[in-house]
Amino acid sequence: MYISQVEIDLNNRKKMKELSHLGVYHSWVEDSFPDEEGKRSRKLWRIDKINGRKYLIIVSENSPDINKLEKFGVKSTARFKSYDKYLSTINQGDKMRFRVTLNPIVSRKEEISKRGRVYPLLNYYDQANFLLERSEKNGFKLKLEDFAIVERKFVPLKKEGKKLVNLSKVTYEGLLTVTDKDLFYRSLTQGFGKKKAYGCGLMTVIKVAD
């Protein structure tokens, strides 16, 4: 596994105009792995804001092409490294600072249809519980007081041949405890929740000293 990062070129008007919706970001990520044509692997990605700058973060099975990764980035800021060594140091019981962006939704059955309809969860309590309810099956535990929602917004998404929609994205930060090493590894490398192809589901962690 690899973890990659590039600073997004916010000062380039042409690039920012092109980055108008999540579909473009998705294509950017996929195009950064030209050797995978016809045999695409899963990639997790997220946009992080740090000190007024924006970064594209990617976790992937293969290493990216640096030049492709800098398509919408600041020149010479793209980099990647092996993620495996760090992941191998994570053990059950470890306390970790985390950041994750998710697409909190609920499926409700409609009276006129047998199929459920998906709705975004909009209030803070429901969005917080969305993460809580998925913690144990993803290999970690936390309490409501252990984390906060630091950003929530609707972001435009357009898929080829479909109408523009707004995707709900909620970013959480806090402290968790690893309860199942294997499940947690799967969560960090495969993500969890919906819309993983569009910037949701990637959790990053940093160990907290005892």
What is the pLDDT, as a whole number, of residue 182? Answer: 97
Residue range 96-122: mean pLDDT, rounded = 84
Residue range 56-84: mean pLDDT, rounded = 97
pLDDT in tens, 77-87: 999 999 999 99
Residue range 51-58: mean pLDDT, rounded = 96
Question: What pTM did the predictor assign?
Answer: 0.93
- Going by C-alpha positions, the residue among 30, 86, 104 that lies closest to residue 204 is 86
Asked whether the predicted pLDDT for residue 115 surpasses 90, the reply is: no
Residues 6 or more apart whose Cβ sits within 8 Å of residue 123: none
**Distance (Å, rounded) from C-alpha 207 to C-alpha 210?**
9
Confidence of residue 105 (pLDDT cuts 50, 70, 90): very high
What is the pLDDT, as a whole number, of residue 38? Answer: 73
Strand bridging mode 165-178 / 140-141: antiparallel
Residue range 104-111: mean pLDDT, rounded = 79
Half-sphere exposure for 146 (CA within 13 Å, toward CB): 16
What is the pLDDT, as a whole number, of residue 146? Answer: 96
| Of residues 141 and 36, more confidently modeled | 141
What is the pLDDT, as a whole number, of residue 171? Answer: 98
Confidence of residue 148 (pLDDT cuts 50, 70, 90): very high
Of the chain, the percentage scoring pLDDT greater than 70 comes to: 96
9: left (phi over 0), alpha (psi -120 to 50) or beta: beta
Confidence of residue 169 (pLDDT cuts 50, 70, 90): very high
What is the pLDDT, as a whole number, of residue 104? Answer: 96
**Distance (Å, rounded) from C-alpha 77 to C-alpha 73?**
7
154 forms beta bridges with 168
